[in-house]
Amino acid sequence: MNFLVWRLHRHQVYWAAAVLAALTILLIVTGTTMANDYHAFFNNCQATQSCSDAGSHLFRGDGSIIDLVNATVAVPLLFGLFWAAPLVAKEYEEGTHNLAWTQGVTRRHWLSTNVIWVFVAAAVWAGALTVLVSWWHAPENALSGRFNAFDIQGIVPVAYAVFAVALGLAVGSIFRRVLPAIAATLGVFIAVRVVTGVYIRPHFMAAITKILPIPFSNSGAPPGAWTLSGGLVGPNGHFYGNGINLDQVPATCRVGAFGGQGVTPNCLASRGWHQWITFQPAGRFWAFQGIEATIFVLLAIVLVAVAYRMVLRRDA
């Protein structure tokens, strides 16, 4: 059975290996250059004590490669769309399951062998890629923290890949047609990722809120922290968000900034106003990675159970 799986899917393996090899070469070459630029810049700026604006001088010419690296966030989804979703759905759609499951290979054995190999392939590919991306991102991580590229570093890309594969298998066994399975995998994966990243992840641990003096900026957060929100605190202790209405600040402080459409920071400070900022410390990066990876692995286990249920309870 293992040899049959290899014969059926070897071309996909070849293409995946070729793409990974090309990305490896590209990331090693550009990552080495970026790391050299980073170290050279800091060696020079430390001598002149002008390192505060490093972000505005480094990586300005690397926009295309940065976009490419950021686009690797979609790689786990591709495993679900093109490897997992057609795996079961195509057998049903073409009727080949009637032959595959009646030649001395049970449905359970056929499904187990395919599931194991597709999970191994996706996890290995995603793991290799995230190691490369994490190494490539090291200079940027040193400047702005790892939370800024949370979805493409650490261990969560592997968990996303496992989840995408499980999702593709489950919806393929439910719809039993390739195109609907691909469409459902795409929609559900994106929805789950957005909900988790936007609404759930910020609350994995209680965020820290600091009240700071004005003029307001995000510099009050520790280096590498993930800034969640911020705003102003009035002299009465009331918290205002970033969308504060100018009518809520003293009239004498509404002029002088942004052509008369903003506020004067020093004026607010003199009247007892402060700024507030809510953030997740940089030291929680790996804890957040572990929590999110666990969530997606547990979802994957449930989806695999659904796939087994749908395949084994139906007549071949």
Q: Are residues 222 and 290 in the same domain?
A: no
The total of structural domains in the chain comes to 2
Distance CA 265, CA 256 (A): 10
Is 248 inside any structural domain? Answer: yes
139 and 16 co-located in one domain: yes
Q: DSSP 3-state helix, strand, coil percentages of the chain (rounded to 5)?
A: 70, 5, 20
Helix (H, G, I), strand (E, B) or coil at 209: strand
**Are 87 and 201 within one domain?**
yes
Range of the structural domain that residue 142 is part of? 10-36+69-205+283-312
Phi-psi category of 128—alpha, beta or left, where left has phi over 0 and alpha has psi -120 to 50? Answer: alpha
Is residue 179 situated within a structural domain?
yes
- Residue ranges in 49-82 assigned as alpha helix (H): 54-57, 63-71, 75-79
> How far apart are the C-alpha atoms of 269 and 215, rounded to whole Å?
7
The answer as to whether 48 is a domain residue is: no
Question: For helices 85-94 and 178-194, what crossing angle results, to 10°?
Answer: 160
Per-residue pLDDT of the chain (316 residues; tens, 9 = 90+): 555 555 555 666 667 778 778 888 888 888 787 777 776 766 666 555 555 555 555 555 566 788 888 889 999 999 999 888 888 888 777 666 555 555 666 777 777 888 888 899 899 999 999 999 999 988 888 877 899 899 999 999 999 999 999 999 999 999 989 999 999 999 999 999 999 999 999 999 999 998 888 865 555 678 889 999 888 888 888 888 766 666 677 777 776 544 445 677 778 788 888 888 999 999 999 999 999 999 999 999 999 999 988 888 765 4
In a domain, 236, yes or no: yes
Calculate the alpha carbon distances from 21 to 15, 54, 129 in Å. 10, 32, 10
292 in the same domain as 145 = yes
Cβ pair 251, 271 in contact under 8 A:
no
What pLDDT is stored for residue 316 in this prediction? 47
Q: Do 183 and 125 have their domain in common?
A: yes
Q: What string of DSSP letters covers 117-165?
A: HHHHHHHHHHHHHHHHHHHHTHHHHHHH-GGGGGGGSTTHHHHHHHHHH
129 shares a domain with 248: no
Q: What is the pLDDT of residue 257?
A: 46
Same domain, 200 and 234: no
**Using CA atoms, how far apart are residues 225 and 223, in angstroms rounded to an integer?**
6
Q: What is the pTM of this model?
A: 0.84
The two three-digit tokens of residue 37, written as one number: 């630029």
Q: Is residue 307 domain-shared with residue 248, that is, in the same domain?
A: no
Same domain, 192 and 294: yes
| In a shared domain, residues 23 and 141 | yes
Same domain, 171 and 30: yes
Are residue 306 and residue 272 in the same domain, yes or no? no
What distance in Å separates the CA atoms of residue 34 and residue 53, rounded to the nearest whole number? 17
> Read out DSSP for 166-206?
HHHHHHHHHH-SHHHHHHHHHHHHHHHHHIIIIIIGGGSSP
Give the orientation angle of helix 285-312 with respect to helix 156-175, to 10 degrees: 20
